[in-house]
Structure 1
Amino acid sequence: MTKLWGLFWGFFKVGILGYGGGPGSISLIQVVTVDGYHWMTNDQFAEILAIGNALPGPIATKLAATIGYQVNGLLGAAAALLGVVLPSLVLMLGLYRILLIYRSNPYVAGLIRGVKPIVIVLLVLLVLELIPSTFPKDRWLVPALFFIGGFVALYWLKWPAVWVILASMAGGAWFLR
């Protein structure tokens, strides 16, 4: 039980103090796991970090789950993952509650209306920035067909997004074999 508590508490501190997201948390995770609790060596941490960076998703949660699993199996993974996610979850729920209470306030309503177009612009800019690497000069046809097929399936055929993602994954795996 003390290992589970240590995993939860160590990663909870990372979740509270990890300012700047995952990359800012990596050094904290290293200090907690290598120097603080001595769950692994620096070499082992570097290997887990390299594998974690190769996988999609937030690095802090991947490291928490992997280290927790190595220390105490599935329960360790769950404890570490809960520890690193809980601070953000509590803060987000608290902010959501505050927004619900003050949503009729004209300043809050204006803030919410003002954020929507900013998020859309940021997403469009991200897509425009990623297009050159997504569609390489010599192999652009297949990714373009995947994009068009996914758009048609979502917009006109009204397929659920999950099925479009799974079909794209299967098609990509077949294409890259």
Structure 2
Amino acid sequence: MKQWDIFIAFFRSGMLGYGGGPSSIPLVHKEVVGTYKWMSDDEFSDILALANTLPGPINTKMAGYIGYRVGGYLGMLNAIVASIVPTIILMIILLTTLSSFKDQPWVQGMTKAVLPVVGVMLGVLTWDFVTKSKQGLGWTGAILLIVTSFLAIEILDIHPGIVIIILLAAAVLKKNKAEKGEAKA
């Protein structure tokens, strides 16, 4: 039953994630955290951050890791197949169908309408992460971290992967320091 659940979760996100990786992230989040409760928001955000640092399609990387974590090697293969097969099938169908209608106004409107929907989905997911980070860091710490990260990426032109690695390392060091402090007490 668990393998079927893995397949369905990633099949849905693969089928409905029109527009690439960013549009599938909120869908994977809904399935993994909301529907099946395989992990918490914090764990999902860690996986998302790590997946963003690695090359390749984000949905496939997340499917592989989450599938492995939930169902072992078979779960990993199951999740990857479930996330890429719908995309392949839809690409073949949509590209052959839409290419013959590409100049029609309704097709152009449909493709333009996807962008704001994906933007809203990512905005909602971002807001969820910000409110969750408030619990651990407080509003001041969360806002300071967001502003600092934004400035590092946009103004200083530091690659987002490097910023994520620095933040992950800082979190691990902070956790280790806290554990050592508890051990001495």
Task: Tell me the TM-score normalized by structure 2.
Answer: 0.50
2:14 aligned residue: 15
Question: Which letter maps to 2:10?
Answer: F
- Displacement of 1:55 after TM fit? 0.3
Counterpart Cα distance in 2 of 1:48 and 1:88: 22
Residue 76 of structure 1 and its aligned partner are, at CA, apart by: 0.4
> Which contiguous aligned blocks of 4+ residues in structure 1 show a shift greater than 3 angstroms?
92-96
Question: Aligned-pair distance for 1:54?
Answer: 0.5
Q: Deviations over 1:69-121 (max 9, x none)?
A: 0001110011111111111111234468x59xxxxxxx97xx9xxxxxxxxxx
The answer to whether structure 1 residue 38 and structure 2 residue 22 are counterparts is no
Flag structure 1 segments of 5+ consecutive residues without an equivalent: 100-106, 112-132, 134-177
The structure, 1 or 2, with the larger RCO (C-alpha pairs under 8 Å, 6+ apart) is 2
Secondary structure of 1:12 counterpart: helix
Counterpart of 2:18 in 1: which secondary structure? Answer: coil
Name the residue aligned to 1:59: 58
Q: Deviations over 1:40-63 (max 9, x none)?
A: 111110111111000001100000
> How far does the alpha carbon of each residue in 1:138-170 deviate from its partner, in whole angstroms, 9 at most, with x for none?
xxxxxxxxxxxxxxxxxxxxxxxxxxxxxxxxx
User: 1:81 matched to which residue of 2?
Assistant: 80
Partners of 2:81 and 2:68 in 1: CA distance:
13
Change (3 A) 1:6 1:59: same
Structure with bigger helix share is 2
Aligned match of 1:71? 70
**Structure 1 residues 95 and 25, CA, compared in 2 at 3 Å: closer, same or farther?**
closer
Gaps of 5+ in 2: 104-156, 158-185
TM-score, normalised via structure 1 length: 0.52
Aligned pairs (5 A) from 1:1-177: 2-94=1-93
Tell me the residue number matched to 2:108.
Answer: none
Alpha-carbon separation, structure 1, partners of 2:40 and 2:13 = 18
Question: What SS does structure 2 have at the residue aligned with 1:24?
Answer: helix
Which amino acid is 2:42 matched to?
D
Residue 40 of structure 1: SS of its match in structure 2? Answer: coil
Number of aligned positions between the proteins = 101
Amino acid at match of 2:80: L
Which has the higher Rg, Structure 1 or Structure 2?
Answer: 1
Residues 15-72 of structure 1: per-residue CA shift (max 9 Å, x gap):
1111221011111111100010011111110111111000001100000111000001
Q: Secondary structure at the match of 1:20?
A: coil
SS at match of 1:11: helix
- Structure 1 distance, partners of 2:7, 2:93, is 21
